[in-house]
Structure 1
Amino acid sequence: MRVGVIGSGIGGLAIACRMASKGHEVTVFEKNATPGGKIGEFTLKGYRFDTGPSLFTMPELVRELYAAAGESVPSTFTYTKLDVHCKYFYNSGEQLVAWSDQQKFAEECAQKFGEDPANIFEYFKRASLIYKITADIFLFNSLHKVKNFLKLSVLKSLLQVHKIRFYKTMNAENRNNFKSPLLVQLFNRYATYNGSDPYKAPATLNVIAHLENNIGTYLPDQGIYSIVQHIYELALKKGVRFEFNSLVTSIDIKNKKAVGLSVGDTKFAFDSIVSDSDINYVMANLMKHPLKKRFDRLEPSSSALVFYWGIKKEFPELDVHNILFSGDYKREFTNLFEEKIIDNDPTVYIFVSSKMIKSDAPKNCENWFVMVNAPTNSEENWEELIRTTRQNIVDKINKSLKTKIEDHIECEKIASPITIAQDTLSKGGALYGNSSNSIFSAFLRHPNFIKSTKNLYFVGGSVHPGGGMPLCLASAKIVDNEILAP
């Protein structure tokens, strides 16, 4: 079978490997010059930066992909489990270290915030239960084929579905579990892992805490982009053909079947098409599908404003992952999703891979990936918004770290919702497709296929089961299971 894949994000690469390993002839079309989609890298004045996701969880899904391809994970693909998930800085001056050791983390919460350690352990236990209940139903199976609900494991999970707290918001559940407002804020943060609002998103998303705190966080020893590089090399080894600098302009459909795709005036015939492009872009530009009107009404996830800074100084008070929290978290999300602006006191995320990968920055220097959540682009004055937000970030860092960070910025590059949209063809620069700011949007993301169009499938963060590297890999596994199914 001839399979055409649109896009070489992590989902597109994974499905290409899986299909080629089954003996199919696979061609991947990528509009950019390199693979990776939202996962990229660049160097600037001796600093190396990962441009997309910075958190690596569930490495077993990468190992499972290699196994599905009949290969062993190469010895060059190594990663380290982090002792600290994240270091948190609060406006009030408190600091908290989120240790991977749950006992140490619970003791830290008790010492700093007076939280009962039992609340911490119970929370992680509940997050693990949510994962066990939802994994078969939502993560590794299509929600849109009846046969999947007849599996014994799924039926058992359905009997416990009330335990996933889908009827409560993340914030309501977290307030019920912790007495410390600062801990509530910490665990509310997990909504941002798929671009959502913890004051609207269902408490089921607390499952994300399981991936980080019960399974662990990791950093590839060669950087996040090395994940893409290794899967790309696996695809080449399995015979996948790549067409870079090739923007797909249409999916060709005849008699309600996908029969090929076009790159400009050149047509390519395929037996099946798999799209790893943003589903909103596909519906609006590649298919002119009637579903486009429904997509226009859906709320997009958040985007991001990122400053890549080469810092000519080392800051021992920072770890690999760091959060400088807003003083009014609810207001920040109201501004983000309702007012469509960046709060004047934004939560700032700082990722410093050179803490562990020394070659990512010159000696005695650090590479800072500095990000704040941003609304998707809808004709905002981004030049002014970037200028004012940059100053707000600088002021916040200076207050938290007691420094004058502007004196240490040696070089800078900026990514905004505008550039993210241009680079990834995501609607308005949304990082995760549509938001999960309601019960229904959280569980009813676009299917991995369209019933009205045969031989057309979808992978990646904008469709089921969702965004982030683990779920993108899961989407490829789902399509691999479904693509030849009757």
Structure 2
Amino acid sequence: MRIAVVGAGVGGLAAAVRLAGLGHRVTVFEQAPTVGGKLGRFARDGFLFDTGPSLVTLPHVFADLLPELELRRLDPIVRHRFPDGSVLDSGDGFAERIGDAFGRSAAEDWQRLWRRAARVWESSWRHVLSVPLESPLSIARQGWRLPDLLAVAPGGTLRGLGRRMLRDPRLRMLLDRYATYAGADPRRAPAALVAIAYAELHYGGWYVPGGLGRIADALLARAEAAGVTVHTGVSVTGIRPLVADGVRIPTDAVVANADATHVYRDLLPTPSRLARLNDRSLAGFVLLMGVRGTTPGLAHHNVFFPHDYDAEFDAVFGTPTRRPRPAADPTVFVTAPDDDAVRPAGHEGWFVLVNAAPQSTVDWTVPGTAERYADRVLDVLAARGVDVRERVAFREVRTPADLARATNAPGGTIYGTAGSLLRPPNRGPAPGVFLVGGSVHPGGGLPMVLLSARHVAELIGPA
């Protein structure tokens, strides 16, 4: 079969590799000048930044497709800093670390939650994540057992689960954070997202020396070795039929590695009800900073929590009486790899991320808005004990509007459909159309994107 892949992100390249291995003739079309999609990179003054994902989880999923990929285990996975000044590192023996930091009762609560999370993960993996989604009904037909349903707790929220099972407010805050991994508000996100915490802590967090952008390099090399043709700088304006740079391209099937909303709304002949899927999903406000010197106590990944987490969610998602807006006192995520390959000697390269409302609800292009908020984020870090304002050699600001322009992600949303276990299916709404990537089944994050590519290859089958 002649198969066109639209988008050379991780999902598109992985699908191309698998489909070429099944004997198909595969051509990839990418609008950007380089491959990788949201797994972007930025270089300046001897620094190399990953501008997308910064953590690898579920390493066995990567080993299936890229056995040569070098991974380095991180410990801690994340250093959490709470408003009261306490610090908790996640990683191996997490319950023991909780006991040392917060006391025995907090550790016992976490162990009880952990047993619940393990059941949710096992059920989700068996019934949802590891199987293709042809339509929303296909998951419903999987034959869930009663213990599976009790563990997943349909109708319950992640916030509610934490309130029931964790007495320490800091652990509740930590659990809430995992909803943001799916672009969701923990007060509305399904309780089943506790599986994200389990996957990260059980399988560990990993880093690719030289930066996670090397995953895209490895996939491109695999694709080209398999005979895949990759065209960059090509604009696709329709997929049934496929139209690339104004030219109609004959195909037997199309795999779309673009945001599902963009596919349904812009690339298919008839827009559908999925056109507004992303409205309540998170975007991100990013600073890429070269920092002189070293910062004591900084881990690879760091989370600085606010005093009022709900105020942040109210700002970013909006309330019935107020539109979304930049959060005044946000959670700040800082990634600073200890890797000489990505920073000059005597410096640190900081990737700073703040949860943000998408461009569709906040106009990040208004002159001065981005720079003022960048100043605010650095002021927040300083108030939390990490003041680098006098050590910043340079900073680059990336807003949701920038990501929207670069990747066609509506509003610059990062995670696709917020917080849902059932995302748009891998089989598209038109004959011969299939979808891969973080906005479709089985979800966001690098391992889920790789699984989506496996699912599409299974649905299409051998040539």
SS at match of 1:397: helix
Distance 2:442 2:49 in 1: 28
SS at match of 1:376: coil
Tell me the TM-score normalized by structure 2: 0.93
Does residue 265 (structure 1) correspond to residue 246 (structure 2)? The answer is yes
Deviations 1:181-216 (A, max 9, x none): 111001110011111100110110010011111111
1:417-456 → structure 2 map (5 Å cutoff): 417-436=400-419, 442-451=420-429, 453-456=430-433
TM-superposed deviation, 1:298: 5.6
- Decide whether the 8 Å contact of 2:290 with 2:349 is kept in 1: yes
- Decide whether the 8 Å contact of 2:359 with 2:411 is kept in 1: yes
TM-superposed deviation, 1:334: 1.2
1:282-301 → structure 2 map (5 Å cutoff): 282-291=263-272, 293-296=273-276, 299-301=279-281
Letter in 2 for 1:120: W
Paired residue for 2:124?
A: 134
Distance 1:124 1:229 in 2: 36
Paired residue for 1:472?
A: 449
Letter in 2 for 1:81: R
- Decide whether the 8 Å contact of 2:3 with 2:26 is kept in 1: yes
Within the candidate set 279, 285, 297, 1:305 is matched to 285
Does residue 208 (structure 1) correspond to residue 191 (structure 2)? The answer is no
SS at match of 2:299: coil
TM-aligned CA distance change 1:162 to 1:143, over 3 Å: farther
Distance 2:162 2:212 in 1: 30
TM-superposed deviation, 1:147: 10
TM-superposed deviation, 1:229: 1.0
Paired residue for 1:163?
A: 151
Paired residue for 2:355?
A: 373
SS at match of 1:280: helix
SS at match of 1:212: helix
- Decide whether the 8 Å contact of 2:374 with 2:397 is kept in 1: no
- Decide whether the 8 Å contact of 2:336 with 2:348 is kept in 1: yes
Distance 1:143 1:158 in 2: 22
1:227-266 → structure 2 map (5 Å cutoff): 227-253=215-241, 261-266=242-247
Distance 1:402 1:278 in 2: 36
- Decide whether the 8 Å contact of 1:137 with 1:157 is kept in 2: no
TM-superposed deviation, 1:444: 2.8
Q: Which runs of 5+ in 1 are unaligned?
A: 67-72, 254-260, 437-441
- Decide whether the 8 Å contact of 2:128 with 2:139 is kept in 1: no
Within the candidate set 143, 158, 163, 1:175 is matched to 163
Paired residue for 1:65?
A: 65
TM-aligned CA distance change 1:276 to 1:402, over 3 Å: closer
1:186-197 → structure 2 map (5 Å cutoff): 186-197=174-185
SS at match of 2:120: helix
TM-superposed deviation, 1:46: 1.2
Does residue 411 (structure 1) correspond to residue 394 (structure 2)? The answer is yes
Distance 1:144 1:210 in 2: 27
Deviations 1:206-261 (A, max 9, x none): 100111111110111221111111111111111111011011111134xxxxxxx1
Paired residue for 1:363?
A: 345
Distance 2:185 2:369 in 1: 21
Distance 1:118 1:417 in 2: 40
Distance 1:443 1:108 in 2: 34
Paired residue for 1:41?
A: 41
Distance 1:60 1:128 in 2: 18
TM-superposed deviation, 1:363: 1.3
Distance 1:472 1:287 in 2: 22
Distance 2:428 2:136 in 1: 15
Does residue 461 (structure 1) correspond to residue 438 (structure 2)? The answer is yes
Distance 1:166 1:236 in 2: 43
- Decide whether the 8 Å contact of 2:80 with 2:304 is kept in 1: yes
Distance 2:277 2:290 in 1: 40
Deviations 1:271-320 (A, max 9, x none): 110000111112222114241x4423663411011000000010121100
- Decide whether the 8 Å contact of 1:303 with 1:374 is kept in 2: yes
SS at match of 1:435: coil
Number of residue pairs matched by the alignment: 456
SS at match of 2:126: helix
Letter in 2 for 1:279: A
Letter in 2 for 1:272: A
Paired residue for 1:70?
A: none
1:98-177 → structure 2 map (5 Å cutoff): 98-111=90-103, 115-144=105-134, 154-155=142-143, 157=145, 160-177=148-165
Paired residue for 1:352?
A: 336
Paired residue for 1:258?
A: none
Distance 2:450 2:89 in 1: 30
Distance 1:427 1:333 in 2: 20
- Decide whether the 8 Å contact of 1:137 with 1:143 is kept in 2: no
- Decide whether the 8 Å contact of 1:300 with 1:433 is kept in 2: no
TM-superposed deviation, 1:7: 0.2
Does residue 394 (structure 1) correspond to residue 384 (structure 2)? The answer is no
SS at match of 2:3: strand
Distance 2:422 2:436 in 1: 15
Distance 2:434 2:160 in 1: 36
Tell me the TM-score normalized by structure 1: 0.89
Q: Percent identity?
A: 30
SS at match of 2:240: strand
- Decide whether the 8 Å contact of 1:97 with 1:105 is kept in 2: yes
Distance 2:170 2:310 in 1: 13
Does residue 323 (structure 1) correspond to residue 306 (structure 2)? The answer is no
Q: Which runs of 5+ in 2 are unaligned?
A: none
